[in-house]
Amino acid sequence: MTRTPIRLVSGAFFAASLFFPAIIQAQGPAGSGGREIQTEVQKADPRIDQVIERANDHFRKGKLNLEDNKRYEARDEFDKAVDEVLTSGLDVRANQRLQTFYLELVERIYREEVPMIQTAPQQQQNATPVVAQSAPNANAEKVEVAQVQEPKPVQIGFRQQEFEPSPLDALSKLILNDDEKKVSDQEIAALEQAKNALDFNFTLNPLVQQYINYYQGRGRSTMEAGLRRSGRFMKIARDTFRREGVPEDITWLGQVESAWIPKNVSWAGASGLWQFVRGTGTQYGLRQTAWVDERNGIEKPTAASARYLKDLARRYNGDWLLAMAAYNTGALNVDRAISRAGEANYWKIYPYIAQETRNYVPNILAVIMIAKNPEKYGFHSIRPETPMAFETIPISSSTSLRLVADATGTSVDAIQALNPELRRDVTPRGESYNLRVPSGSSKQLASLLKRVPSDRSDSTRVISIVPGEDLQSVANRTGVSVATLQAMNGGVDLKTTTRLLVPNSSVRLTNWKRSATPESNSQPALTKVRARKGDTIAKIAAAHKLSADEVARINGIAPNVELPAGQEIKLPGATATAPATGSRRR
Distance CA 501, CA 446 (A): 14
Predicted confidence at residue 453, as pLDDT, reads: 86
Looking at residue 214, its pLDDT comes to 96
Q: Contact 93/40 with Cβ under 8 angstroms? A: no
Q: % helix / strand / coil in the chain, to the nearest 5?
A: 50, 10, 40
Q: Write down the pTM of the prediction.
A: 0.63
Lowest mean pLDDT among 98-107, 171-180, 216-225, 301-310: 98-107
* pLDDT tens digits, 40-49: 444 557 888 8
pLDDT band at residue 118 under the 50/70/90 scheme: very low
Q: What is the 3-state secondary structure (H, E, C) of 492-560?
A: CCCCCCCEEEEECCCCCCEEEEECCCHHHHCCEEEEEEECCCCCCHHHHHHHCCCCHHHHHHHHCCCCC
CA distance 278 to 26: 11
Among 77, 113, 180, 257, which one carries the catalytic annotation? Answer: 257
Decide if 168 contacts 266 (C-beta within 8 A): yes
pLDDT above 90 for 268: no
pLDDT at 439 over 50: yes
Higher pLDDT, 329 or 107: 329
Pairing label, strands 264-265, 164-165: parallel
Highest-scoring range by mean pLDDT, 126-140, 171-185, 208-222 = 208-222
Cβ neighbours for 411, distance < 8 A, ≥ 6 positions apart = 405
CATH number among 3.40.50.2020, 1.10.287.370, 3.10.350.10, 1.10.760.10, domain 518-575: 3.10.350.10
Is pLDDT above 50 for 584? Answer: no
Q: End-to-end CA distance of the chain: give it in Å, rounded.
A: 33
* Residue 470 pLDDT: 82
pLDDT at 507: 67
Any catalytic annotation for residue 257? yes
- What is the CA 547 to chain-centroid distance, rounded? 37
More confident residue, 72 or 400: 400
The full set of domain ranges for the chain reads: 7-112+164-377, 140-159+388-514, 518-575
* Burial (Cβ within 10 Å: 0-12, 13-18, ≥19) of residue 495: exposed
Other beta carbons within 10 angstroms of residue 443's beta carbon come to 13
Q: Which secondary-structure segment (H or E) carries 96?
A: helix 96-113
Q: Is 246 within 8 Å of 200 (Cβ atoms)?
A: no
How far apart (Å, rounded) are the C-alpha atoms in residues 489 and 422?
29
In this structure, the dihedral spanned by the alpha carbons of residues 163, 167, 171 and 174, taken in order and rounded to 10 degrees, is 100
pLDDT at residue 512 tops 70: no
Query: Whose CA is closest to 15, among 165, 170, 159?
Result: 159
**Residues contacting residue 285 through CB under 8 Å, at least 6 positions apart:** 300, 304
Most confident among 262-266, 295-299, 508-512, 518-522 (mean pLDDT): 295-299
- Give me the CATH code for the 7-112+164-377 domain, please: 1.10.530.10
% of the chain exceeding 90 in pLDDT: 41
User: pLDDT tens across 380-390, in order?
Assistant: 989 999 999 99
Q: Is the pLDDT of residue 520 over 70?
A: no
Mean pLDDT of the chain: 78
Highest mean pLDDT among 117-131, 230-244, 429-443: 230-244
